[in-house]
Amino acid sequence: MTFEDFSVTGALYHVVSIIDLEKTLAEGIHFDDKITYFDKYYDFHNYFDKYRTDNIPHWVLRKKAIFASMNFKEDHNWHSHTALLKVKVDIKKCWVCNENKANVLFEPFILQNIKGFEVAKKFIEEKGPKMVEEYWLDSLSMEENIKIRRDKEKGYDAEVLIFHDIPPEDIECLFIISDQSIMSPDKWLHYFNNEVSFKEAVCKSIGNAQH
């Protein structure tokens, strides 16, 4: 599933757990408002910030970023029980990085202190700093990316780091994603209204038959 290009929409895409959806639509998006932020990601982001290179402005810190995508591939692997949001941003407060160069470090970083995964710790100690530096050196401002479109290059999986809060009025829920389907809110409501009506009718028929 892909969308019209950023040059047409001026929009980015952000995924949230459906557990966070009500709060997000009511209060907007903040970099530290997800239930998983401190448990799963803070230390990882902080590690990347530790090895920032000289080309990175002082305000670009992963631990203070909201993460978004410019688009998706047709074969993108969606996570179930999430919602896909369309968001408006200030491009002057955004930075673009190659997510592939961050993802390769996530598992060894998380596993490194677990018994039996000592090789992960060795990997992080020996190769981690250099790989993080490459991540930063391969990044650029959103304004510059709009000019040269690194995000369209093969192998460059652009993640956009947003450094401002996103208010509710700049958020639109596009899809609810489950194990079985991807549906817009309207289709989701229509589907479940029909399901409820059908089940109520069946239950009523069974009840009448029993009497």
Residues 92, 166, single domain; the answer is: yes
Over the stretch 151-192, which tens digit does the pLDDT of each residue have?
999 999 999 999 999 999 999 999 888 877 778 778 878 777
| Total domains, the chain | 2
Residue 84 lies in a domain: yes
Residue 1 is predicted with a pLDDT of 62
**What is the span of the domain harbouring residue 172?**
6-180
Mean pLDDT value of segment 144-153: 96
Name the pTM for this structure.
0.86
**From the CB of residue 96, how many other CB atoms can be counted at a distance below 10 Å?**
24
Residues 134, 203, single domain; the answer is: no
- Alpha-carbon distance of 131 to 87, in angstroms, equals 30
Question: Please, which pLDDT band fits residue 114 given cuts at 50, 70 and 90?
Answer: very high
Q: pLDDT: is 126 or 189 the higher one?
A: 126
Residue 1 lies in a domain: no
What's the longest Cα–Cα distance across the chain?
Answer: 79
Spatial contact of 11 and 94, defined as CB atoms under 8 Å apart: no
- Alpha-carbon distance of 119 to 84, in angstroms, equals 36
Residues 138, 202, single domain; the answer is: no
**From the CB of residue 65, how many other CB atoms can be counted at a distance below 10 Å?**
19
Mean pLDDT value of segment 128-157: 97
Residue 47 is predicted with a pLDDT of 97
Whole-number Cα distances in Å, 138 to 47, 90, 150? 17, 21, 10
Residue 206 lies in a domain: yes
Residues 78, 103, single domain; the answer is: yes
Over the stretch 55-73, which tens digit does the pLDDT of each residue have?
999 999 999 999 999 998 7
Q: pLDDT: is 32 or 197 the higher one?
A: 32
